Structure 1
Amino acid sequence: MASPATQHDSDDDDVFAEAFSRYKYKNSFNENTWEEEFDKIPMFMKSVPEEIDPKEYPELAHIQAILHDEDRTPEEKAQSLKNEGNEYFKEKKYQKAIVAYTAALKNKYDDQDLDTVLLTNRAAAHFHLGNMRSALIDSTNAKKLKPQHLKALIRGAQCCIELRNFAAAIQWCEEGLQAHPSDKKLQDLRTSADKHKRASERDARKAKLKEKKLNNQKDALLSAIKARGIKLVKSVKPRDSGSDGEDDNEGSSTALAELSLEGLSSQQATGAQVFLNEQDLLNWPVLFLYPEHQQSDFIAAFCENDRFLDHFAVMFGEELPSWDADRKYHLQNLQLFFEDEEKQTLYKVDPETSLLKVLQHKRYFVKAGTPSFIILVNGSSFWKQYLTGKKTRAM
């Protein structure tokens, strides 16, 4: 008596055999013509056909080519490789076509017509792959061999258009039309190249005018900042703890930035930057810091003539900030400071003061194009703790 395991294996075999009988092999010989198909395999042929059709006997054709390759002339080898490349090209296998055409060109023979065709065909394969510079090089070399070769002239013009060298494309077309004045393809390419050239020149003029306008705006902006005596800073190196004195400017380690738009780029995610409005007033991106809550406010365009109080009335008006759980950030409670990092001093700012007056202070330096200020609640426990040990001065 069979064991359970043996019985189980037997059942599996029966299931497999039943399933196997229902399916046929894929890519197998036809059951009605298998003998003829079998006879086409070189290993099993009873006799070799007198004329070998590569389409009917592809394997035999390849073997014969290998056996007789040494007997063929370089030109015959090149011609064979060209045909192989053409087949690949028809199948849109452009990379393989390039390999075949390249191998054909390596054969040493004296046939400029064949070389021209191989170069033009390879240029076409490169073109379809998007290798425009390689395609242009092959087209140029083909034209050197045959200056009037139509396909080379057309392909060269096409490559120049794709490379946006419209003047060169027009030249290719004009050379081609001298030899083939009625060719519609060259005529269309000439029209297209001229249209693109005029559009490109128009765009270049617009870009130049825009650049000039931006440069004028930049010069006006930088002149306005300089005229107001506002100082931009690259970096601030803290002074030694023994240094003191508000009017002590000797040995200052503040690195003033050269006036440039690069030095005025705000670090805020908005990308805001100081600008001159229609009234020639500077509008600055301004940052307010609340160290007690590690929060901040950002005003993208703070006009230089605006008072801080004008903005505070909006920021701390009827609706207080959501993070102010104790509801203590009222206008009458606020104290405003700017920090002189070099001298490690806080300067108290009267909210009635305009932004311009603060920016013109001799110890105020605009960093990264964004003036910044500190806001504290007067008399709070954090206010006392924050100011302990710090030097404070009235502006």
Structure 2
Amino acid sequence: MADDSDEDFMDAFMDKFKTEKYDNAFNEENWEEEFERIPMFMSEAPPDDFDSQKYPELATLQAILHDEDRTPQEKAEDLKNEGNSYFKEKKYEKAIVSYSAALSMKSSDGDFKAVVFSNRAAAQFYLGNMRSALKDAMAARKLKPDHLKALIRGAQCCIELRCFAEAIKWCDMALKLHPTDKKLQELRAAADKQKRAADRDARKAKAKEKKLLAEKEALLNAIKNKGIKLLQSTQPRRGSDSDEEEDEGSSRGLSELRLDGLSSQEVTGAQVFINQEDGALYWPVLFLYPEHQQSDFISAFCENHCFSDHLAVMFGEELPPWDAEQKYHPPNLQLFFEDEQKETLFQVDPKKSLLQVLQHQRFFVKAGTPSFIVLVKDSPFCKQYLSTSKVQRL
């Protein structure tokens, strides 16, 4: 048994049905004439040469009944016309399906196939499928070298694909056949202008790349000349005690370096650079506080500055919030760097400059960022931490 809500819904639906007109309904004034166009209700057959636009249902029915009697060319023509109708309605996907079906009919008419390929190229173009559109334009040009629309479409596709030199070739080829066509002339001028702009941009990019390469080489030479070693992705073998073998490995690493060992910019946003005024290197430096799993980052640590200067700033009047016990005063702190290969910690004198430490024979800059461990002297954590490693003083 239906409830009241169902009845209310049906009442509302019927009221709406009475007041709104169905979009495809017969016209009240000439419904009999429209009725006569439907094959099932015709009182008499239309002439053999009836207008298919006036009797679309009858045309469709006859096409179904007599499809086997039609030649492949006739079928292909109908499919092409169907594609054209879809194209005019901007239904480009459906147009492509119809054009493809027309081409599958294996028509022997080269000019006809050239038109279909050209039409399909246009549909592909408006969908943004430039490579497919160019492929169809090339097929049309091969079948009919003077097909103007195919030539224009091919040039347009090349421009959209930024193949400006190829677009100019299409235009030059087409203008030999259609020398007065304004569209081709405009495309030729546009392709030439954009080619010159692209060539200019390429020259600028190449010059910029050359300049950056020179700056990188100068930076690497400065690092090498100062005796600083960079740890490469291919690291020296762990456990090797041969200084001679390590020195050879370091030399090979630097000669193959380029910027592999200066990759910190991707991670930290900073990279070592040369101050052009005094020739000093400024490094991104990382301080690690393992007791609290915290860190500090200095983006430009001058190689001539001492560690104590930076510690006085970082742990001056205001200590960090994570230092609940207020232990991290500069006089209480000890600095270390780790030699991963020898599994050794080297204690750093805070009064030494960054350059002096970087020049140590066992210091290797990793990922372009020197890093140091900071501990509170004689604290329980410090004693426990140092007990697990060999420790040497610089």
Contact kept? 1:177, 1:186, Cα under 8 Å: yes
Which sits farther off after the overlay, 18-27 or 355-364? Answer: 18-27
Provide the residue aligned with 1:335 in structure 2: 334
1: CA distance, partners of 2:163 / 2:388:
68
Cα deviation for residue 115 of structure 1 reads 2.0
Provide the residue aligned with 2:146 in structure 1: 148
Cα deviation for residue 274 of structure 1 reads 1.9
Provide the residue aligned with 2:392 in structure 1: 393
Q: Deviations over 1:302-344 (max 9, x none)?
A: 1222211221222122222222222221222211111222322
Provide the residue aligned with 1:75 in structure 2: 73
Contact kept? 1:75, 1:107, Cα under 8 Å: yes
SS in 2 for 1:299: strand
Cα deviation for residue 38 of structure 1 reads 4.4
Contact kept? 1:267, 1:370, Cα under 8 Å: no
Q: Deviations over 1:113-166 (max 9, x none)?
A: 222211211111111111112211222222223322221121111011011111
AA aligned opposite 1:210: K
2: CA distance, partners of 1:294 / 1:90:
67
Provide the residue aligned with 2:230 in structure 1: 232
1: CA distance, partners of 2:290 / 2:275:
32
Q: Name the TM-score, length of structure 2 as normaliser.
A: 0.87
2: CA distance, partners of 1:381 / 1:265:
36
Contact kept? 2:265, 2:271, Cα under 8 Å: no
Provide the residue aligned with 1:311 in structure 2: 310
1: CA distance, partners of 2:337 / 2:9:
86
Q: 1:210 to 1:49 in 2, by over 3 A?
A: same
Q: Deviations over 1:259-303 (max 9, x none)?
A: 231222128742322222213322221110111211100111212
Provide the residue aligned with 2:362 in structure 1: 363
Uncovered stretches (5+) of structure 1, i.e. residues with no partner: 1-5
2: CA distance, partners of 1:332 / 1:325:
18
Instruction: Count matched residues.
Output: 382
Provide the residue aligned with 1:19 in structure 2: 12
AA aligned opposite 1:155: R
2: CA distance, partners of 1:10 / 1:111:
67
2: CA distance, partners of 1:84 / 1:333:
87
1:124 aligns with 2:122: yes
1:249 aligns with 2:243: yes
Q: 1:83 to 1:356 in 2, by over 3 A?
A: same
Q: Deviations over 1:340-370 (max 9, x none)?
A: 2232222111111111111111111222221
2: CA distance, partners of 1:126 / 1:16:
47
Q: Deviations over 1:98-124 (max 9, x none)?
A: 121222223344433222211211111
SS in 2 for 1:147: coil
Cα deviation for residue 15 of structure 1 reads 4.4
AA aligned opposite 1:349: V
1:217 aligns with 2:211: no
Provide the residue aligned with 1:99 in structure 2: 97
Contact kept? 1:166, 1:194, Cα under 8 Å: yes
Q: 1:182 to 1:317 in 2, by over 3 A?
A: same
Q: Deviations over 1:68-90 (max 9, x none)?
A: 22333333222221111100100
AA aligned opposite 1:66: I
1: CA distance, partners of 2:83 / 2:329:
82
Cα deviation for residue 97 of structure 1 reads 1.2
Provide the residue aligned with 1:292 in structure 2: 291
Provide the residue aligned with 1:186 in structure 2: 184
SS in 2 for 1:92: coil
SS in 1 for 2:299: strand
1:277 aligns with 2:275: yes
Provide the residue aligned with 1:43 in structure 2: 40
Q: 1:320 to 1:130 in 2, by over 3 A?
A: same
Q: 1:314 to 1:67 in 2, by over 3 A?
A: same
1: CA distance, partners of 2:77 / 2:266:
66
Q: 1:174 to 1:237 in 2, by over 3 A?
A: closer
Uncovered stretches (5+) of structure 2, i.e. residues with no partner: none
Contact kept? 1:253, 1:342, Cα under 8 Å: no
Contact kept? 1:254, 1:342, Cα under 8 Å: no
Q: 1:39 to 1:198 in 2, by over 3 A?
A: same
SS in 1 for 2:228: coil
